[in-house]
Amino acid sequence: MILTRIGIRGVRNLEDAELQPAAGANLVYGPNASGKTSLLEAVYLLAHARSFRTAQIRHVIGTDQKGMLVHGHIVDPEGEKENRLGIERTRESTTLRLNQQTVRQSSLLAQKLPLQLLTPESIRLLEQGPGQRRRYLDWGLFHVEHAFHSAWNEYSRALKQRNAGLRSGAKPEQVRLWDTSLVERGEQISRLRERYVESLKDTLSRISERLLGFAPDFAYRRGWKKEIDLESALEASLERDRQHGVTSVGPHRADLVCLVNGVPVQDRFSRGQLKMLVCAMRLAQAEHLAQVQSRRPIFLVDDIAAELDPDRRNALLAILRESGVQLFLTATEREQLDVTGWESRKMFHVEHGKIAEVV
């Protein structure tokens, strides 16, 4: 996908702006705290209707502003179909628009604008708990498996009801009423995730070899013992679940395990290696999406010059260039990142919240 236009109003310290990004690399540079990351945040808002910097979207509204608005035009290069996306936030409410129609589900925007984000905090994918890695898998499935989103919503509703019953001290037969939905959708989700991990492995190994010099092993752990089905696992854990008031088995407990010689990468890799592995994981997803649907996500890359040494930085930029994705990346100085290899490229200077295209 290509973002051909973006309009920004009332976002943090940014002055109102109308930009026409390049289809290739867009380098956004300027001093610290000038508004570079806020520009990436605006693009992220357009795709997800939420921020990657704060859990409260109202905090994105600039000081002394009544609200904020981000709108954009995206084009599918294959079909040349244009979609118009928009998000408007006041102090009281949020309005989402798709092709000038108000919509309620942010997933409709995410579906139109697949987006990958690489920031200094992206290392949490490997350093923090399994929830981060489940979200990684689910991003890919959301974009390539039409059945996944509805299956996950149904599973989540049943899980919420079962947990409510467990917390209220419901009798076993009442708790079991939700097991049919959990089993049907839970095993469907697990099959989709297992298949997705298998489909990523070759690409992930190849990219990891380029960025790290070797490839870790990846395995999906489904969230219950592999020798039994989910129905049996739920029954076996019922008394324990009643004691603790929560469902302890199922795909909501799954994990994607990354190992080197049988040891988790978190215990073996340096911080720099973990960062490169996260980059490889995101790039592998982008390539898989292109192979399956002939669509490419937009990449937002924040402050890699401060996070990666020149060799790793150049290796990452080379793969991003070869991938054909549209790229927005930030730096404090324009010389820190070399984007001359892109046929389509633009530079934007940001200072005191004012964005100016550099010709």
CATH of the domain at 91: 3.40.50.300
What confidence score (pLDDT) does residue 81 get? 82
Nearest to 352 by CA among 38, 101, 27: 38
**Domain enclosing residue 247, as ranges:** 126-293
Say what the pTM is: 0.93
Strand order in the sheet with 115-118: 115-118, 298-301, 327-331, 25-29, 345-351, 354-358
Sign for the CA dihedral angle at 257, 258, 263, 268 comes to negative
Helices 179-212 and 271-293 meet at what angle, rounded to 10? 110
Q: Which strand (E) or helix (H) includes residue 188?
A: helix 179-212
- Per-residue pLDDT, averaged over 3-32, amounts to 96
Which of the listed residues 245, 262, 293 is the one where a domain comes to its end?
293
The number of residues in the chain equals 359
- Element counts in the chain: helices (H) and strands (E): 13, 15
What confidence score (pLDDT) does residue 305 get? 80
In a shared domain, residues 57 and 185: no
Which of the listed residues 293, 321, 351 is the one where a domain comes to its end?
293
- Per-residue pLDDT, averaged over 54-75, amounts to 92
**Domain contains 193:** yes
> Tens of pLDDT along 236-286?
999 999 999 999 999 999 999 999 989 999 998 888 899 999 999 999 999
